[in-house]
Amino acid sequence: AVPQTRILATGGASHNKKILQVLADVFNAPVYTIDTANSACLGSAYRAIHGLVAETGVSLADVVKLAPEPRLAVTPTTGAEEV
């Protein structure tokens, strides 16, 4: 089974519902945000940690399992995928 696509939006634009709606409609996928200040920096830090432990076989999922849970911000507009 192919996992369903979802978008994790971070940074300043993640607070703009209209921009998030465009993302959802263009990619026909739900958009999630994280209620954390400097979430883009946080994501970069998790990737850096993952890089440091890559040789041990630790997955990115294991690295971020203690991260704040993303919350659903917007879903695609019905019919947008046909446009």
Sheet bearing 71-74, strands edge to edge: 7-9, 31-33, 71-74
In a domain, 81, yes or no: no
In a domain, 83, yes or no: no
Contacts of 24 (CB under 8 A, 6+ apart): 7, 30, 31, 74, 75, 76, 77, 80
Q: What is the pLDDT of residues 28-78, one digit of tens each?
A: 999 999 877 777 788 788 889 999 988 898 888 888 887 878 899 999 999
In a domain, 79, yes or no: no
Question: Taking residues 11-34, what's their average pLDDT?
Answer: 92
DSSP 26-78: HHTS-EEE--STTHHHHHHHHHHHHHHHGGGT--HHHHTTTSPPPEEEE-PPT
In a domain, 38, yes or no: yes
Count the domains in the chain: 1
Structural domain that includes position 59: 7-74
In a domain, 1, yes or no: no
In a domain, 2, yes or no: no
